[in-house]
Amino acid sequence: MVKKEAERKVIRGRAIPLPGDEIDTDRIIPARFLKVITFEGIGKYAFFDERYDEDGIEKP
- The 8-class DSSP code of residue 48 comes to H
Q: What ranges do the domains of the chain cover?
A: 23-60
Cα–Cα distance between 52 and 60 in angstroms, integer? 9
**Which pTM does this prediction carry?**
0.54
Model confidence pLDDT, tens digit, residues 43-60: 888 889 989 999 999 998
Segment 2-12, tens digit of pLDDT: 677 778 889 89
